[in-house]
Structure 1
C-alpha cells in the first residue's frame, strides 16, 4: 500500500511540474483532441491535487498512526476529495470567471470620443483613433456632415455604416458637437 501512496505522490508532483512547464506546448500539440473528456469539475489541476493529496496523506497516515491500511486509505481518499473540492472552489472556478477578452463589437464605438489621425476630406475617408479599454484602436472614418476634419481634431463617433465610423467634430471649448 505504501508503494501506491508513493506512486500517487510522485505522479501528482511530476504531473504538476510537467503541466506547468509543458502545459501550453502539449495543449497546442493535441489541439483539443481530449476536449470530449472535459467535465466542469474534472480539471487537470483538481485531479492532480486529489492524487497528490491522496498519496501524501496515505504516507503520513501509514507512518505516523497505527490505523489499519483500509482505514488509512479511506481517510486519505476523503482528504483528497476535500482538498480537490477546496482547490476547485477557491482557485479553478474563480480563475475561469476572471478571463478577459479584448474583443469588441464595432457598434460599441458609437458615442465614443476619438481623434483624427489621417485627415478626413468632405467626400472621402480618413482614419480615427478611439481609446477602447486599455488601448487604442484605429478605424476608417468619414465625416457625417461632409466637412473636412484635419488630423488632431477630436471627434465623436455618431454611427457605423458598413464598417466605417461616421464622425462629427467635437468643440473642445464647450464639449459640444460641432
Structure 2
C-alpha cells in the first residue's frame, strides 16, 4: 500500500472542489463528505441517502466494527441537501454509472482522486487522503491531538501525529531553519 499525504493547503482543496464539481456532482460530493467526516473510503461508499438525511451520520465502521456517530456540520448538511434532492432514501449516495442500485467501487474512487491529483500536481494522493486531510485540518483548527486521535479511532497520539503528516511538517520546518 502506498503512503499518502493530506492536502494541507486550503486553496488547493477549494480548487479541487471546483474541478470535481465541474466534472461530476457525485465526485465532488464524495470528496466533500470525506474531508468533512474523516471516514474511510470503504465506509463512505456504502452510505445510502437515508444515512445522511438527519443531524447525525450514525454507522458502524467496517474496519473496526465500532459504532460511530458524526454530527453533520452546516457546510456538509447544505451540500448533502443539494446533492440528494430527488434521490430515493435507499439509493446509494455514490451510485455507479453501470446501472442498478450499486455504489462506485474503491478503484473508481481512487481514479477520481488520482485525476484531481494529476490536475493539481499533487503526489502521494489516494482515497485515504480524504481522511488524512480531515485529520490534518481538524488538528490545525483545534490543536487538540487527543480529539483528532479519538475522531480517527487511533490508539496512540504519536500514531495520529504521523498519520496526519504533522511529523513531516515538523521535520520540514526544522530543516528550513537548519544550516551549518
Could you state the TM-score of these two structures normalised by the residue count of structure 2? 0.21
Structure having the higher helix fraction is 2
Could you state the TM-score of these two structures normalised by the residue count of structure 1? 0.21
Greater relative contact order (Cα < 8 A, sep 6+):
2
